[in-house]
Amino acid sequence: MVRSVFEIVKAPLGWSVFADNVKIAGVYDSRGAALEAAALAASFAVSDGVAVQINVPGEDEERPRWAVAFEIAATILPDREPAAAPSPSRGTAGKSPG
């Protein structure tokens, strides 16, 4: 059975609706307004015989997608270390000790 997943996602300026990881609507002022848009889109899928799932984050999950992606990338990518030691100062270059 085919299933379509609708996600309400916190955007920088409001809330967005994604269907199967594709943005399908504009930006909404509230989570409730985005839910109404997702429910309307889901109703069309239901009338086509498709199963639907609507995910709405709670207040503690309101991080935008870019923040989640950054957090994942930061844990996967290795820490950067300095490329080389700093070069000696110009005043001491070429002089022999002593």
Chunked mean pLDDT (size 10), the chain, 98 residues: 88 90 90 95 94 88 70 75 58 56
Instruction: Give the per-residue pLDDT at 91.
Output: 57
Q: Is 91 part of any domain?
A: no
Residue 7 lies in a domain: yes
pLDDT of residue 74: 79
Q: Domain range for residue 38?
A: 3-60
51 within some domain: yes
According to the model, what pLDDT value does residue 4 have? 92
Task: Give φ, ψ of 5 to 5 degrees.
Answer: -105, 125
Query: Quick one: pLDDT at residue 45?
Result: 92
Please check whether residue 80 lies inside any domain of the structure. no
In a domain, 97, yes or no: no
Domain assignment present for 8: yes
Which pTM value belongs to this model? Answer: 0.59
Number of domains in the chain: 1
Q: Determine, yes or no, domain membership for 49.
A: yes
Establish if 44 belongs to a structural domain. yes
